[in-house]
């Protein structure tokens, strides 16, 4: 394409140049080729987006592509766009395809509304560019749950999908459930993580309940207005329930 005279400094809707894309994908050879052929080494020129929903049209009853070229981009998506309850953070999980790799990859991307303006997408601090998927916020917005196959600290062979969560006020702390036990580990200054701290000796089960507009339990997907989840844990011999609920938007 370069030999055909394609503009190598052209930018996408989200203001990303081919060089920015090469940096994001850690394609050093592509980067070097672009620089050799006169590519400008400048940061992403993200457009000015203000207002709710990343400055996009508020959701309605007709499905539409959301944030075309930014969230709904050239990559596939492996989650919805999850907004914090206050509307100031959005998280989503792209399916990024790397040449030569059998499977797509990608952590969780995030954008924040700061001083009224949405920031350019970046990897969330609690996953980096590691695997991360299907993020969602707790009802109070203080906690983010997500799925990841990240290995447990000190055990690189322990890769498998687990449900993790982080608290928004301490994003260098991760939690996970392993063999029925709930652990926490904290990030250190060198970027590694401490050994896990056992928080609960038993997590017996995670259950869900679905309620209609009148607060009655329902199995009719079209009538569901609230989803409640309970994680049953045991600590120091006492059984406890960690519960949360999500209210769905009325039709």
Which pLDDT value is given to residue 173? 59
If you write DSSP's letter for every residue of 145-184 in order, what string do you get?
Answer: EEEE-PPBTTBTT----EEEEEETTEEEEEEEEETTEEEE
Q: What is the CA radius of gyration of the chain?
A: 21
pLDDT digits (tens, 9 = 90+) for 11-47: 988 888 999 888 877 789 999 999 999 999 999 999 9
Mean pLDDT, residues 210-236: 74
How many Å apart are CA 130 and CA 133, to the nearest integer? Answer: 10
Domain regions of the chain by residue span? 1-45, 49-172
How many Å apart are CA 80 and CA 218, to the nearest integer? Answer: 24
pLDDT digits (tens, 9 = 90+) for 152-186: 666 777 777 777 777 766 555 556 555 556 666 56
Which pLDDT value is given to residue 251? 44
Higher confidence at residue 216 or residue 37? Answer: 37
Higher confidence at residue 57 or residue 107? Answer: 57
Q: What is the pTM of this model?
A: 0.65
């Amino acid at each position: 394409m370069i030999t055909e005279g394609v503009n190598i400094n052209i930018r996408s809707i989200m203001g990303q140049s081919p060089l920015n894309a090469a940096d994001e994908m850690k394609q050093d050879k592509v980067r070097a080729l672009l620089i050799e052929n006169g590519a400008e080494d400048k940061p992403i020129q993200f457009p000015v987006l203000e207002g709710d929903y990343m400055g996009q049209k508020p959701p309605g009853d007709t499905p539409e592509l959301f944030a075309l070229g930014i969230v709904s981009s050239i990559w596939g998506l492996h989650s919805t766009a999850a907004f914090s309850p206050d509307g100031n953070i959005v998280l989503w999980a792209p399916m990024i395809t790397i040449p030569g790799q059998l499977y797509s990859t990608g952590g969780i991307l995030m954008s924040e509304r700061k001083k009224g303006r949405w920031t350019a997408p970046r990897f969330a601090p609690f996953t980096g560019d590691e695997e991360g998927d299907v993020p969602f916020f707790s009802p109070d917005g203080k906690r983010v749950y997500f799925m990841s196959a990240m290995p447990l600290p000190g055990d690189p062979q322990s890769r498998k999908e687990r449900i993790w969560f982080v608290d928004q006020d301490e994003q260098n702390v991760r939690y996970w459930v392993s063999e029925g036990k709930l652990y926490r580990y904290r990030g250190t200054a060198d970027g590694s993580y401490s050994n896990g701290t056992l928080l609960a000796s038993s997590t017996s089960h995670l259950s869900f309940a679905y309620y209609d507009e009148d607060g009655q339990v329902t199995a009719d997907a079209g009538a569901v207005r609230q989803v409640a989840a309970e994680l049953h844990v045991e600590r120091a011999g006492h059984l406890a329930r960690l519960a949360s609920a999500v209210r769905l938007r009325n039709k």
